Amino acid sequence: MSINKKILRVEDLRVYFHTKKGDSKAVDGNHFTMYENETLAIVGESGCGKSVTAMSILGLVSEPGEIMPGSKIIYMGNVDKPEDGLNLATATDEQLRDVRGNEISMIFQEPMTSLNPVFTVGDQIIENITIHESVSKEEARKRAIDLLGQVGISRPESIIDNYPFQLSGGMCQRVMIAMALSCNPKLLIADEPTTALDVTIQAQILTLMNQLKEKFGTSIMLITHDLGVVAQVADHVNVMYAGKVVETAPVGELFKNPKHPYTVGLMHSMPSLATEGERLAVIKGTVPNPLYLPKGCHFADRCPHVMPICREKQPKATKIASRHRVWCFLYEQEEVVQEEIVEVEA
């Protein structure tokens, strides 16, 4: 199987919020790689660090948050030295501004609140285009109409002059996607882009995102807590728990052969995956407070297979199959390759 070009490599990403009570370790040692033309879903319960991971990539972590020294977020799109990449964790404000919007765009959960209510959708898309490129207003308007058409809005030449409140939630999310795509980003980060929409519109937006990925070769990071959404659109999945990726795998492989007890628990709590008549399982206990993370595996207190070693130290990555890794002591005893730094390749 040929693998696309790498676009982002995250190594040992730690993001701490320095609070009066101590350091809240929102992200605590994340590793992953993203590829062109691939949708990576980041899945996990509320508070596990999905959004903070995305904000760090965009350089949007603000005080009291800090991307800790040693963290690497290597972006390999259009940068001066693609072979070295640009470390977004240590980039200057100017470099970050340049990457944001031009190279990496983001769409958020609430399309209505992300759009400015006092400007027409056209004004907002046109402004986004003209900030990043030197094109005339007429040319930018033409592009905006074209983009609105591409995201499935009918009569784009009239909708362009509407205000956000004149459009439905699903239409607003399409406008947000058009805006995010207006500068041909290499990487699109979508943070729960469909949670505020009803189920039919959700499906349409997810299909649209997949079509756009194919068409533009964009790499998409999709943040969600919904495994149904993951199954529908992801190529690859990172399962996060309490600030860390605990399992990473191609989507088919993850659903067929989940390894981490947390991944298995998540799957058993998903209605469409439970066998008929089977009661939905709930993962007992709660996510640890990021102020007081345990010394060993963060999932130990909730794990049905917990062993003494799990409370003593953190597991390393174990290779299960091509691009499938798990961080769990259950598998460290198997004869498989273990790695300190994970470059998830074939």
Ligand X SMILES: Nc1ncnc2c1ncn2[C@@H]1O[C@H](COP(=O)(O)OP(=O)(O)OP(=O)(O)O)[C@@H](O)[C@H]1O
> What is the binding site for ligand X (CB under 6 A)?
17, 19, 24, 26, 44, 46-52, 65, 225, 290
User: In angstroms, what is the minimal distance from the CB of 244 to ligand X?
Assistant: 12
User: In angstroms, what is the minimal distance from the CB of 296 to ligand X?
Assistant: 19
User: In angstroms, what is the minimal distance from the CB of 293 to ligand X?
Assistant: 10
User: In angstroms, what is the minimal distance from the CB of 263 to ligand X?
Assistant: 16
User: In angstroms, what is the minimal distance from the CB of 8 to ligand X?
Assistant: 17
Q: Which is nearer to ligand X, 195 or 211 (CB)?
A: 195
Angle at 43 between CA 38 and CA 44, to 5 degrees: 165
Q: How do 317-321 and 324-327 pair as beta strands?
A: antiparallel
DSSP string, 181-249: HTT--SEEEEESTTTTS-HHHHHHHHHHHHHHHHHH--EEEEEES-HHHHHHH-SEEEEEETTEEEEEE
Contacts of 307 (CB under 8 A, 6+ apart): 329, 330
| Contact present, 5 and 77 (Cβ < 8 Å) | no
Q: Which is nearer to ligand X, 43 or 212 (CB)?
A: 43
Q: Which is nearer to ligand X, 24 or 182 (CB)?
A: 24
User: In angstroms, what is the minimal distance from the CB of 63 to ligand X?
Assistant: 8
Q: Which is nearer to ligand X, 24 or 202 (CB)?
A: 24
Q: Which is nearer to ligand X, 77 or 288 (CB)?
A: 288
Q: Which is nearer to ligand X, 12 or 139 (CB)?
A: 12
Q: Which uninterrupted H or E stretch holds 106?
A: strand 104-107
